[in-house]
Structures are given as structure tokens and as C-alpha cells.
């Protein structure tokens, strides 16, 4: 949809939209959704050289924007299948198209598998998500630091972006660091779990996945990350979210940092975190809470991570009270990403 289908709001025909700079699109959409005025039945459209118009049901009160315009023309093509059908795809081809993808800031992440004409899939995803300017194809994770293997499928090819989630802003390069949309509720939950001035050790901080929402909620976080690229984004994101006074960052192996740390809470957001339980318990104060993440075979959920935690605690003369267990998402076929929350005395 072109700018020709957008007109200044003069009270005439067309549906309301607000204009923001494209880099702020996802942040604005999050804010409009929270306010309850984002209209998901219509498309985000290009506006000028650097802006987008975001459909709304009413003029927002809490989200900044440049101007109000009217959108006219066809209603939104709601699905990827709609866009592929317009490109002449057959029903059989559409059945092989991706069924899921993630929009992270201005980037769409997608796994193509055996879909035909991948470039057309990328172009269709850009049409579907007007706030995005790049589509990346995911190939997997590789290397000591679990770095993403991606390639540009469509768009500008800019892999750096800022993603906003529950008010927390994450700057990242999706060609260099991982970001899992499936962990969104877990990140939000950590902000709700902490109390103001609580001391937290985040043993595998990454770009600040859990550190940032906890610090924004008032916790004092010792954040440890050994991947140099992720660590630089951790520093940038602490500044971006105005929590540098609440985040103590260390570029190190977390086992080298725990001495002298007295934490009310330890976050172990790594699939093989159980290997570091001795260090976590060394840092955790009696009566403190540990959040142990693990990739667990489905038939061992939640038995294996609880057993590992209890064994490590017993070896140190400590006891465990399981507070909560949950499946976060599927990790691979027959394997789940799970979390055990426990009090350790």
C-alpha cells in the first residue's frame, strides 16, 4: 500500500492511523496495544521515506506520534497465505509455506524448511509486517557461544534492531546473538518475581534478557556474560533502559564471579545450567530462590531438573522446596524447555 492511500486526518473517509518513525514502529505498536487502541485488522503501511502509519481505533493518549492520518483502500490481507495466493501460489505450495515466524523489532525471523521460492516468502512477510524492513532465514545455532546462523532472505538486510517487550528495550544484532520470542512470558515473569532492592545474580545474562526487566523492576543485578558481542549489547541495553545504576556487568565465566556474591535470587537461563549448580548455590543466600532452566526430554519433565537441583543442594547440606515448575516451549522433538523455581535453605 502506498502513501497515495494515506491522507491527513480532516474528518473525511478512511480509518485512523498514527505516523511514527519506522525504527520506533514496534515500540509504538506495543504501546498502542497496551493502551487498547491498536487495530490489528489493518496493515502497518509505509509513510514517506522514513515513517510508517500504524492503524488505530482512536487517537492514542500515551504514545507519541507525528500526526494522525486516514487510511483508505482494501482491508488487511490477514495471513501469509493471502499474500502468497496473490503471488500465484497454488494450495499445495501454500501448504509448504512456513506456519510461524517471529517479528523482532524491524526484523522477521523465519525457518523456510521445504517451502518453494523462499525469496517470495520473504517479500510476502514484509508485505504482511509493514513495521519490518528485513527478513532473516534461520538455519540453526552454532559455535561455543551459541551464535545464530542466519541469511538475509528479503529487504534491506539490516540485522541490527531494537525490540521492545513489556516496556523493556533490547538492542541486538540478530546475526550475532540469539533472541527467543518464545521466552517472552518468562522475561515478563522475572520482572514480577523480584522485589525492590533485591540482590540478583544472572549467571548467563546474554544481552540482558532477564537482567533488564528485573533491574527495571528495582532489583540490583549482577549480570555475567562471557560472549563478547552479547556483553557489549548488555552494556548498551543497560544504558538504553536507564538501569546502569542497578546492573553490575561482568564479562567472565560465571564461576569466576560468584565468590563474594550474596544473592537473594539466582537466575540460570541456560539449557545446561545444571552444570553450574555448585556455583549458583555458593552465591545464593539461605532462603533464596533459584530459577533453573533446562532442555529436558519430555519423559523426564520435571523429574530430572528437580533431582539435579536436590542432589547439588544435598551435597552442600542444604534443602530444596520446589515453588513452581513450568514448560516454556518446545526445544526440539521430544525435548522441552522447562524451568524449576525453588527455595533453597
The CATH number given to whatever domain includes residue 35 is: 3.30.70
Q: What is the pLDDT of residues 218-274, one digit of tens each?
A: 999 999 999 999 999 999 999 999 999 999 999 999 999 998 899 999 999 999 999
Check pLDDT > 50 for residue 1: no
Average model confidence (pLDDT) for the chain?
A: 90
Q: How far apart are CA 14 and CA 231, in angstroms?
A: 47
pLDDT band at 145 (very low <50, low <70, confident <90, very high): low
**Separation of CA 231 from chain center:** 17
Please state the domain count of the chain.
3
Q: How far apart are CA 42 and CA 258, in angstroms?
A: 50
User: Is the residue at 8 inside a domain?
Assistant: yes
State the residue for C-alpha cell 555475567.
224
> Does residue 43 sit in the same domain as residue 183?
no
Q: What is the pLDDT of residues 27-85, one digit of tens each?
A: 888 889 889 999 887 878 878 878 888 999 999 999 999 899 888 765 555 789 989 99
> Does residue 142 sit in the same domain as residue 258?
no
Q: Which whole-number Å values give the CA distances from 274 to 162, 296, 298, in the listed order?
A: 31, 11, 17
Given 21, 41, 71, the domain boundary residue is 71
C-alpha cell at 131: 513495521
Predicted pLDDT at 77: 58
> Does residue 132 sit in the same domain as residue 205?
no
Counting other chains too, the contacts that 270-276 makes at CB distance below 8 Å and 24 or more residues apart are: 270/203, 270/204, 271/295, 271/331, 271/337, 273/203, 273/204, 274/305, 274/308, 274/309, 274/312, 276/203
Angle in degrees, CA 102, 104, 106, rounded to 5: 120
Please give the annotated binding residues for S-adenosyl-L-methionine, written as ranges: 180, 187, 225
Predicted pLDDT at 48: 81
Predicted pLDDT at 43: 78
Average pLDDT over residues 192-198: 95
Say what the pTM is. Answer: 0.82
Check pLDDT > 80 for residue 4: no
Check pLDDT > 70 for residue 136: yes
Q: How far apart are CA 298 and CA 104, in angstroms?
A: 29
User: Is the residue at 231 inside a domain?
Assistant: yes
User: Is the residue at 211 inside a domain?
Assistant: yes
User: Is the residue at 166 inside a domain?
Assistant: no
Domain range for 102 is: 80-158
> Does residue 208 sit in the same domain as residue 340?
yes
> Does residue 131 sit in the same domain as residue 184?
no
Q: What percent of the chain has pLDDT over 70?
A: 93
Predicted pLDDT at 2: 40
**Closest CA relative to residue 249, chosen from 273, 230, 263, 266:** 230
Please give the annotated binding residues, written as ranges: 180, 187, 225
Q: How far apart are CA 28 and CA 32, in angstroms?
A: 6
pLDDT band at 161 (very low <50, low <70, confident <90, very high): very high
Check pLDDT > 70 for residue 13: no
Check pLDDT > 80 for residue 127: yes
* Three-class secondary structure assignment of the chain: CCHHHEEECCCCCCEEEEEEEHHHHHHHHHHHHHHCCECCCCCCEEECCCEEEEEECCCCCCCCCCEEEEECCCCCCCCHHHHHHHCCCCHHHHHCCCCCEEEECCEEEECCCCCCCHHHHHHHHHHHCCCCCEEEEEEEEECCCCEEEEEEEEECCCCEEEEEECCEEEEEECCCCCCCHHHHHHHHHHHHHCCCCCEEEECCCCCCCCHHHHHHCCCEEEEECCCHHHHHHHHHHHHHCCCCCCEEEECCCHHHCCCCCCEEEEEECCCCHHHHHHHHHHHEEEEEEEEEEEEEEHHHCCHHHHHHHHHHHHHCCCCEEEEEEEEEEEEECCEEEEEEEEEEC
Q: What is the pLDDT of residues 91-124, one digit of tens each?
A: 999 999 999 999 999 999 999 988 999 999 999 9
Q: What is the pLDDT of residues 200-219, one digit of tens each?
A: 999 999 999 999 999 999 99
> Does residue 257 sit in the same domain as residue 197?
yes
Amino acid at each position: 500500500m502506498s502513501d497515495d492511500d494515506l491522507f491527513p486526518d480532516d474528518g473525511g473517509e478512511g480509518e485512523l492511523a498514527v505516523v511514527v518513525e519506522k525504527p520506533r514502529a514496534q515500540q509504538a505498536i506495543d504501546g498502542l496495544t497496551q493502551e487498547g487502541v491498536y487495530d490489528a485488522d489493518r496493515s502497518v503501511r509505509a509513510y514517506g521515506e522514513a515513517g510508517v502509519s500504524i492503524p488505530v481505533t482512536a487517537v492514542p493518549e500515551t504514545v507519541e506520534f507525528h500526526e494522525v492520518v486516514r487510511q483508505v483502500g482494501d482491508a488487511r490481507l490477514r495471513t501469509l497465505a493471502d499474500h502468497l495466493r496473490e503471488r500465484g501460489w497454488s494450495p499445495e505450495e501454500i501448504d509448504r509455506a512456513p506456519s510461524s515466524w517471529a517479528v523482532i523489532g524491524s526484523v522477521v525471523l523465519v525457518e523456510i524448511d521445504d517451502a518453494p521460492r523462499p525469496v517470495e516468502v520473504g517479500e510476502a512477510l514484509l508485505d504482511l509486517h509493514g513495521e519490518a524492513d528485513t527478513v532473516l532465514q534461520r538455519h540453526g545455532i552454532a559455535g561455543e557461544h551459541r551464535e545464530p546462523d542466519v541469511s538475509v532472505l528479503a529487504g534491506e538486510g539490516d540485522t541490527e534492531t531494537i525490540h521492545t517487550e513489556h516496556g523493556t528495550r533490547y538492542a541486538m544484532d540478530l546475526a550475532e546473538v540469539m533472541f527467543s520470542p518464545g521466552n517472552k512470558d518468562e522475561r515478563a515473569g522475572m520482572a514480577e518475581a523480584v522485589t525492590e532492592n533485591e540482590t540478583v545474580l544472572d549467571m548467563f545474562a546474554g544481552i540482558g534478557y532477564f537482567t533488564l526487566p528485573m533491574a527495571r523492576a528495582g532489583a540490583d543485578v549482577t549480570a555475567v556474560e562471557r560472549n563478547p558481542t552479547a556483553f557489549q549489547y548488555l552494556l548498551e541495553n543497560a544504558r538504553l533502559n536507564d538501569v546502569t545504576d542497578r546492573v553490575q556487568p561482568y564479562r567472565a565465566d560465571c564461576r569466576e564471579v560468584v565468590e563474594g556474591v550474596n544473592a537473594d535470587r539466582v537466575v540460570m537461563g541456560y539449557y545446561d545450567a545444571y552444570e553450574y549448580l555448585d556455583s549458583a548455590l555458593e552465591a545464593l543466600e539461605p532462603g533464596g530462590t533459584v530459577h533453573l532452566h533446562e532442555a529436558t526430554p519430555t519423559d523426564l519433565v520435571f523429574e530430572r531438573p528437580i533431582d539435579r537441583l536436590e542432589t547439588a543442594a544435598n551435597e552442600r547440606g542444604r534443602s530444596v522446596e520446589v515453588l513452581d515448575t513450568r514448560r516454556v516451549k518446545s526445544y526440539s522433538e521430544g525435548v522441552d524447555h522447562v524451568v524449576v523455581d525453588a527455595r533453597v535453605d
